[in-house]
A = this chain, B = another copy of it.
């Protein structure tokens, strides 16, 4: 392991000079800079980021904390955030906390959090989803440079990147209504998730505004997996035979629904329409391709990264970033899973 000191000796300068040519090259004369650069090349020197962190009291790293690595949000968020952070000389550290409060030991959660903070992250990006998760909120409050994607926390709105789930639900209802659907079933997500209750509420309210009531027996619960969508659909088919459309709270469950409908011989969209949520990769892979409410994940990740950078210690840098967009709106991506029903005056 070559150290700064080795390089310094070889170049015939002090360690400070080597450090300078590495960090602020403009402060060192070009001739000495050349000597140093040479020595670095010869020795194959690589700086030790750990020592650097300790000495400079700044780690130039930002944590990304998710519920589970298999979440469909995780990869795109990780991709965009690392890209941006790298552009600014920052590293990313990832940890997972477990998908639900109950499923995960608080030990796991604490370990994840500790793993991040003990490594001196300057900010952490919380990938939310869990509601009632006191821990998450506590982390958010206790770590003043953390930002959160997915919910808005009172009194700290400027650290929250959020999405209008309520409006997303409305949009889904509006679309189905416009297409003439009146008998609609909903496959919702866990009641633990705030986003899911908001989606449900927006959907219900929009229907209600059009004098349509979403009956309790038209609501089915899933856990965001393909299989749970399949199971819910089985129940839907058993329950009543006059539904013409299904609103699913995510695309995976919608895919399960589609699969189950195929098996039951129900034609999509002619006998049953379906609309998903998230516009994730799977929406384009199923047949018919799924109409879905899109959440601009990448853009939200982008905002979060900028926010995190702004809040970082090392960000004593003169050039601050412009304040990024914090609130994002849904958009409907029409594909081929919703049918225009023949005009019928009333349900």
Contact = CB atoms under 8 A, between A and B. Distances in A.
Contact of A75 (B69, B86, B281): B69
Q: How large is the interface on A (under 10, 10 to 19, 20 to 34, 35 or more residues)?
A: 35 or more
A92 B197 CA distance: 34
Interface string A271-299: 00000000001101111110000000000
A39 B258 CA distance: 58
A68 interface: yes
Contacts of A49: 118-120
A285 B226 contact: yes
Interface in A73-99: 74-76, 78-79, 82, 86, 91-96
Contact of A256 (B86, B118, B285): B285
A262 interface: yes
Contacts of A9: none
Contacts of A69: 75, 78-79, 82
B47 A118 contact: yes
A70 B76 contact: yes
A263 interface: yes
A122 interface: no
Interface stretch (A29-37, A109-117, A132-140, A176-184): A109-117
Interface stretch (A50-58, A188-196, A206-214): A50-58
A119 B90 CA distance: 12
A46 B117 contact: yes
Contacts of A227: 284
A51 B48 contact: no
Interface string A245-260: 0000000100110110
A118 to B, nearest CB: 4
Interface of A: 46-51, 53-54, 59, 68-70, 74-76, 78-79, 82, 86, 91-96, 111, 114-115, 117-120, 226-227, 252, 255-256, 258-259, 262-263, 281-282, 284-289
The 4 A-B pairs of least Cβ separation, nearest first, read A262-B287, A255-B285, A49-B118, A50-B53
